[in-house]
Amino acid sequence: MAALKAAGVFRILAPKAVGGFGMGMETYANVIRRLAQGCTSTAWTAGHLAEHVWMLARWPRQVQQEVFANGPAPMAAATGAPLGTAEMVPGGYSISGTWSFASGVMHSEWALLAVHDGDTRLQCLVPVSELELLDVWHTAGLRGTGSNDLRAHALFVPDYRTLDWSLLAAADNPGSRIHPDPIIHAPVAVLLNMVAPAAALGAAEYAVELFRERMMVRKVKNTGENRQADSPLGQARFSQAYGLLATARLHWEEALRMVSASHERRLPPLSDEERAAYRLSLALSGAASAEAVQLVAAGSGGSIYRLAHPLQRIQRDVNVLLNHPTLSIDPILEQAGRGLLGLEITIPSF
């Protein structure tokens, strides 16, 4: 965390007016990808924490003055799974709930919590110190993210630190009236859906690189070659993994191209067909990345499953990524198909 802060990673999406860099989607996505070439958990956590700075910059001025008072990169976790409950009380809301998957919470001062007040979804900004932190993140993969649960009961949240989710998520949000930085005008869903595929791609790139290095020196039992790289079957396996990685990269770059040009020029929001193509490209990129990792792991021998070896960690991390809603292939294929066929997309957050 200290190295990431020193490098300015959390300032990437922060508006220039508060001391941030005001950078765009392409830079943000590539930072996640490059970090994942070392550690997927680091990439995941850093990507979300940087994204949450961007979310705070979308709030009205009073909140921004509070959260950016100590610098351009306030640390905040965000979670909406499941939604908590909110009851209107004098001066604000009383909220209760248990929220899971609060990535970055171990390093955060703030928490962005989703609640429902009747049929209205709200986001509440709460100091982490006012919440109960539940140590439940004991998982097979992405272990380093510390994505623990948060709990509150009848916690008072002042009115100015609550905001209608539909307003926060829109291109025309309160922060877009304050900051000219193009990225503040992007719909929330665009960035929310980028972290997992960028992390999966970077992890797969690292896995294929490790496989290449291993093949050049590894002697495979029950074969006549001196090293795996001399085996025709080993050569075929490597070329297949390399090709899958190229597929993943092309899909990912196509998704980036679709949204980054639109945001930089502040074009109208993506149409349903464009949204469908964007999510489909990211999902197919994630699937190809995971397939490349599985192919590499299956051809690397039993010693990679020692906990000290990075390939077993990459495999576990990517398996968890594939189950995140932003890469879960079945519902994405369904909604993407509707959008591409000119039918109505039925999930607003898609």
Q: Dump pLDDT digits (tens) for 15-73.
A: 999 999 999 999 999 999 999 999 999 999 999 999 999 999 999 999 999 999 999 99
Residue 183 has a pLDDT of 92
Which residue in 105, 101, 61 sits closest to 81, CA to CA? Answer: 101
Average pLDDT over residues 152-164: 98
Which residue in 154, 157, 104, 147 sits closest to 127, CA to CA? Answer: 157
The yes-or-no verdict on residue 221 having pLDDT over 80 is: yes
Percent of the chain with pLDDT over 90: 90
Taken in order 114, 116, 121, 126, the sign of the CA dihedral is negative
Q: Confirm if 299 and 233 have CB atoms less than 8 A apart.
A: no
Burial (Cβ within 10 Å: 0-12, 13-18, ≥19) of residue 282:
buried
Out of 160-169, 173-182, 219-228, 237-246, pick the least confident.
219-228
Residue 67 has a pLDDT of 98
Three-class secondary structure of residue 94 per DSSP: strand
Structure tokens, 143:
């272990």
Residue 60 has a pLDDT of 98
Q: pLDDT band at residue 123, thresholds of 50, 70 and 90?
A: very high
Residue 83 is classified by DSSP as E
Residue 208 has a pLDDT of 98
The yes-or-no verdict on residue 262 having pLDDT over 80 is: no
d(CA 145, CA 101): 9
The yes-or-no verdict on residue 261 having pLDDT over 80 is: no
The yes-or-no verdict on residue 263 having pLDDT over 80 is: no
Structure tokens, 257:
């191209």
As beta bridge partners, residue 167 has: none
As beta bridge partners, residue 158 has: 92
The yes-or-no verdict on residue 267 having pLDDT over 70 is: no
Average pLDDT over residues 281-301: 97
Beta-strand ranges (E) seen in 100-142 are 110-117, 120-127, 132-134
Q: Confirm if 55 and 76 have CB atoms less than 8 A apart.
A: yes
The answer to whether the pTM exceeds 0.85 is yes
* Mean pLDDT rounded to a whole number for the chain: 95
